Amino acid sequence: MKAEQLIGKKVVRTRHTTYAGGTICRSFMDYPIKILIATDSHIIYQYVEESRWHNDTKTKHILPYEYCDNNWINYDCLMFMAEKPRSGATIYYDEETNVA
């Protein structure tokens, strides 16, 4: 989903980011962040949990345009889908309501 659709939610990236020089960044794929503001060119966020990489959950941070893409997913919905029992049925995720 686009970051603009996930404002106010905990999110993680579903894919790495590639910068203009070809450098690949896999940040935000394993620890959730909360999106506060999102536009076509910037994302303002806060860390949700403390980890060994960051210990400040109150400071606001900014991401550049490389992250303003369609590679974000709602963290709570992802965890909900992971906790559902596997019965062989396909779980469909509704992007409009953020419900599995």
Q: Would you say residue 100 has pLDDT above 70?
A: no
Cβ within 8 Å of residue 78, ≥6 positions away = 12
Query: Which helix (H) or strand (E) segment is 11 a member of?
Result: strand 10-13
End-to-end Cα, the chain, rounded Å: 14
Mean pLDDT (whole number) for 90-99: 59
- The secondary structure of the chain in percent helix, strand, coil, rounded to multiples of 5, reads 15, 25, 55
Do the beta carbons of residue 83 and residue 62 sit within 8 Å? no
Do the beta carbons of residue 32 and residue 75 sit within 8 Å? yes
Tens of pLDDT, residues 13-64:
999 998 888 899 998 998 899 999 999 999 999 998 777 677 788 899 999 9
Structure confidence at residue 96 (pLDDT): 62
